[in-house]
Every structure is written in C-alpha cells, then in structure tokens.
A and B are shown apart, each in its own frame.
Chain A
Amino acid sequence: MREKVEVINTDLKKKKEDLKKKAKKRSQIADVWKRLKKSPAAVIGIILIIIFILMAVFANYIADYQTDAIKMNVVNRLQSPNKDHWFGTDEFGRDIFARIVYGTRISLFVGLISVGIALTIGGTLGAIAGYYGGKIDNMIMRVLDVLLAIPTILLAITIVAALGASIMNLMIAVGISNIPGFARVVRASVLSVKDQEFIEAAKAIGARDHTIILKHVLPNSMAPIIVYATLKVATAIMATASLSFIGLGVAPPTPEWGSMLAGGRNYMRDSMHIVMFPGLAIVLTVLSLNLIGDGLRDALDPKLK
C-alpha cells in the first residue's frame, strides 16, 4: 500500500515537473518573441518575409504562370514600368513583376531545402563530433577541413558543373557546400553544453547516448543553431541567384531571379528596370532574413545587447 502511494506520488511529481518544464519552455519562447517584437529591425524583417512567403504561396492568384511569366510576347518587349506591367517587361516581352512573383517560389524553396540538407547532414556530423570527441571528432573535423578549404560558392559551382544545371542539383550543391559550416556551429554549441551538470546527471541515471543528444544536448544548444540557419537561408538564396546568373542554375524560361539578371544584362543600358527589380527582390529577401537573424541573436542572448 505504501509503495503504491509512493509510486503515485512520484508520478504526480513527475507530471508536475513536466508541466513546469513545458510552461518554462513556453515562457522562454514567449520571452524571445517579446524581445524580438521590441526590435523594429526584426519586425520589418518579419513583415517583409511574410510578404514574400504570401507571394510565393499565392503566385497563381497574382499572375498566370503560362501567359504572364513564360509566354514570349515580342510586341511588348522591353517596356518600361507602366500600369499594365508594374515592373516593365523583359527582352521577350514577359511581365517582370509576374516573373519575380514566381521567382520567389524557387528562391525560398531552394533556400529552405538546401539549408535543410546542410542542417541535417552537417548537424548530425557536428553533434556526433562534439558529443563523442576524441578520435571520432578528429576524423570528422579533418574531413570537414577539406571541405572548408574550398570557398563555399566555389564548391557549389564545382558540384553543379559536374552534376548538370537543374533545381534539384542546385539544392544539393548549395546544401553540400554548407555542411561544414553547420557541422562547426552544432559541434561548438554541443561542446558548450555537454560538460554541464544536467548532462552528467542524465548520464548518471543511465540515459542512452542518443536520448541525451536529442533530448538534453540539442534543445539546450538550439539558440546559435537557429540564428545560424536563418542567416544561412539568406546566403543560400544569394548563392542560388549567383549560380543561375552564371548559367549554372535554373534553366530558362523558368523565372529565377539570378537568371533574369543574366538575361537582362545585355539590355540594361536602355532598360535599367530589367536588372533593377529582380536584384531588388534578392536584396529584400536576403535583407529580411538577415534582419530576422540579427534580431533573433539579440533576443536569444540578451546579455550581448
């Protein structure tokens, strides 16, 4: 009887603690959000990125892909911005605004997926290296040193050059070239957490390695990883545009910001709008993510402010 009561008691205690933990986590997120809201820069970033996301999701409702973004219409070529074509038309008479709207889809998609690839592979490698240390760490880091010796964008160019230009290969290339960066960040934050006492405690009660890594180490080392990932989506978008610009990305006529700039280059003397607007789209997307990244960093680590 007594035992039973005790079991119930510890059970209740555990539940209470769980609830407390959840409440704490929620309040932590709420806290970060509260601080983030205070920064006007971060708010501007969030608004901008929401606009871009909405544009990507509802592109069909804004313009028709076939008739506005793809179909050549030589009669209308190189029109300056006007009320029918807000951002003007390109060298084939296609509406630049419509192409930018559809380009948002590709940019955000490629940016997110490639960072996802880098985070999954690089993060796993980094977590393993940081948690186990010693020989495993040494081996992983030496391999990454090799990858790090090649400047990121050059590695991506090399990979796409070998695999051939397509959206898929673009994501793979940008993803792989970002692996070492993520591995390093995850490794560093795992290292900073792993020697803390609550990890020792988890080990002492016999928790298994993967449980410790997934449940204790990673959640507590999330902050720098989140910030890094946000900033990396920005650079991935920029890398995508860069690769497309030198003809190694999305093939025409698919609307992609970088390839729009590559195509418009030859006409920019007389039709500046043709290189102006796609570029601005890149700048604003990247800027919004950078604003959010900076804001998150300050919000997650208030002592640095």
Chain B
Amino acid sequence: MLKYILRRLLMLIPVMMGVTFLVYFIISLTPGDAASIILGDGATEEAVIELREKMGFNDPIILQYTNYIKGLLSGDMGISYDTGKNVSTEIIARFPNTFKLTVIAIFLSVVISIPIGVISATRQYSIFDNIGMILALVGISMPTFWIGLMLIILFSLNFSFFPSGGMDGWKSLILPAFTLAIASTAGITRTTRSSMLEVIRQDYINTAKAKGVSRKVVIRKHALKNALIPAITVIGLEFGVLLGGAVLTETVFAWPGIGRLMVQSIQTKDTPMVLGCVIVFALSFSIVNLIIDILYAYIDPRIKANYS
C-alpha cells in the first residue's frame, strides 16, 4: 500500500511540471508589456526599459520559465505587478478560506448525495426516485453563480437570514457553501444511483440474498461498497468542477479566497498572481485525486493487489 502511495506521489511530479509549463506558457501570451503595467502610466521610457532588463523580461521564455520554477521550488512565486506584494504570501493568506469553503461544500455534497442516490436506486421509478432525479437534473443544469444570486435574493435580501457576502462568522459561510455544493451534489447523486442500479443487478447480490442476508444488509454491505467505486471517481472529478465553481462563488459572495483573488488579478493584468492561483488550484486538484486513488485502492481489493 505504501508503495502504491509513493508511486502515485512520484507520478505527480511530471504532471505538475507539465502544468506549470503549460500555464506559464499560456499566461506569457498575455498582450501588453509587463514592465509598463508595473510602473503604471506615468513611467518614463528609460525606466520601463531598465525594469524590463532587471526583471528578465527580455530573456527567452524557457529561461524565464526555468527561473520561475527555481523560485517556485523555494516557495517564491514572484512579486505582484499590481500591489508589489509577495505572491506566495498573498496566496497563503487566502488559501485557508478557499479550503474551508470547498471542503465544507464537498462534505455537504457527499453526505446528501450518497444516501439519496442509494434510496433512489433501491426504489427505482418510485415518487422519491422521480422527484430526486428531476431535482438532480435541474441541479446540474443551474450555473453556480446564478444559484448564488438566487440564494442571496431569497435568504439575504428578502429575509436577511444570512449575509449576502463577505466573511464574518459561520453565518456567512452557509450560502456560499450551499451554492457551491448544489452542482456536485446533483452530479454525485446521479452517479451513485446509476452505479447502484447496475450493482444490484449483479449475480453476487443474488448470492447474498440466497444466503438469507436481509434486504437492508444486502444494500449496505454488499451493494454499496461496490457502487462506491465509480461514485468515488466522480467525487474526485466533481472536486475539479467545485474548484472552478469556487472562483465564481467567491466572486458572487465577495469571499476572500484564491478564486476571487484570481479574478481580481486577471482584471488588473497581474500575471504572477494569476499564475500562482492557477498553479495552487491545479496542485490542490491533483492532491485530491491522489487521495481519491488511495481511497479507491482501499475499497477495491483488485487494485490493492496490483501494488502489494
């Protein structure tokens, strides 16, 4: 098992190298001159040229990238063009907020969706199933930011139950967390249901029933564990969607996380900051997928056997 985890960790390195290179390259396509952006409108021609030389903007892109990676490995993501602050410090300051939001959202999704998916599958075509599936379908069809706006209108403008934005105590967390959770809840519910439906038709379910195992235990012990294997894969994928959703949710609720930081930095053309945010998002996503892979091996003995 340890070998498996180590192997997966090692596989992360080339992927992250690729990600940094790709993102660095894409961002370097940004039109406009970085030196003039940093110095602002009033700068003299000489000052711009001097800064350009000093920051290495004239170097070939590969060299610039190598320098960036060197810095990145020692935790240095450069200096914000906009505020002049250290990018790493800014991101580290905001990261816990995004972490809190996304972890709570994924927790809500899993806790709500798996039971609903299981019940829907065991009572296929019942009223519960039909209503659940219609809601799930509507859930995956609503854009995150619009859900956020509707929840604000309903719960903070009309009833003032919760604040419409900012970060101030647990109350301010509720609306953004639910907003973010809805899409993934719907997605995971649908997958749980369909994989459960497939599992309960398998022969081994009949074997279990023929042994005299009660209906409840058949579902809980024999079916669920098998159905969770595809469900967990989807939870991993949904986490990516959720990170993307965090950018929008944070924008809607003025939540001071990395997503909002990224959007603001795009508007001010603050490339080092955008770069840092994207890399942190990609790294988080990769780590989540690593955890998912480990969980996977834990549940499915066939995978575990391959690596022991």
Interface residues of A (CB under 8 A from B): 142-143, 145-147, 149-154, 157-159, 161-164, 234, 238, 241-242, 245-248, 258, 261, 265, 268-269, 272, 275, 279, 282-283, 286-287, 290-291, 294, 304
Contact = CB atoms under 8 A, between A and B. Distances in A.
Interface in B101-141: 137-138, 140-141
B251 A161 contact: no
Interface string B52-94: 0000000000000000000000000000000000000000000
Contacts of B28: 162
Interface string B248-291: 10011000000000110011000000100010011001100000
A169 B241 CA distance: 21
Given A158-B26, A161-B27, A268-B153, A283 B146 contact: yes
B274 A152 contact: no
B18 interface: yes
A286 B22 contact: no
B47 interface: no
Given A142-B14, A162-B29, A242 B248 contact: yes
A195 B250 CA distance: 48
B212 interface: no
Nearest to B279: A150
B258 to A, nearest CB: 10
Which residue among B31, B152, B240 has the maximum number of chain A CB atoms within 10 Å of its CB? B240
Given A146-B22, A242-B144, A151 B153 contact: no
Contacts of A147: 22
A36 B238 CA distance: 28
A151 B149 contact: no
A279 B143 contact: yes
B15 A146 contact: yes
Main secondary structure of the interface of A (DSSP, over half): helix
Contacts of B150: 275, 279
Which residue among B23, B31, B198 has the maximum number of chain A CB atoms within 10 Å of its CB? B23
A238 B241 contact: no
Contacts of A304: 194, 198
A287 B149 CA distance: 19
A279 B14 contact: no
- Sorted nearest first, the 4 A-B pairs with minimum C-beta distance are A153-B244, A146-B18, A151-B240, A287-B141
Interface of B: 14-16, 18-19, 22-23, 26-31, 137-138, 140-146, 149-150, 152-153, 157, 194, 198, 240-241, 243-245, 247-248, 251-252, 262-263, 266-267, 274, 278, 281-282, 285-286
Nearest to A264: B149
B281 A150 contact: yes
B10 to A, nearest CB: 14
Contacts of A268: 149, 152-153, 157
Contacts of A261: 145-146, 149
Contacts of B27: 158, 161-162
Nearest to B154: A272
Nearest to A241: B143
A150 B289 CA distance: 12
Contacts of B247: 153-154, 157, 246
Given A162-B27, A261-B146, A286 B241 contact: no
A145 B15 contact: yes
B31 A265 contact: no
A272 B274 CA distance: 33
B278 A154 contact: yes
B281 A162 contact: no
Given A161-B266, A286-B141, A287-B138, A151 B285 contact: yes
Contacts of A291: 137
Nearest to A280: B146
Nearest to B31: A164
A149 B15 contact: yes
15 contacts: A142-B14, A151-B240, A151-B285, A153-B245, A154-B244, A157-B266, A162-B27, A234-B141, A261-B146, A268-B149, A268-B153, A279-B143, A283-B146, A286-B141, A304-B198
Nearest to A146: B18
A50 B243 CA distance: 33
Given A157-B266, A258-B145, 12 more contacts: A142-B14, A142-B18, A149-B15, A149-B18, A151-B281, A159-B26, A245-B145, A245-B251, A246-B251, A246-B266, A286-B141, A304-B194
Contacts of B19: 146, 149-150
Nearest to A145: B15
Nearest to B23: A158
A252 to B, nearest CB: 15
B146 A279 contact: yes
Contacts of A145: 15, 18
Contacts of A247: 263, 267
A300 to B, nearest CB: 15
A142 B21 CA distance: 14
Contacts of A234: 141
A269 B157 contact: yes
A279 B252 CA distance: 14
A27 to B, nearest CB: 28
B149 A275 contact: yes
A275 B286 contact: no
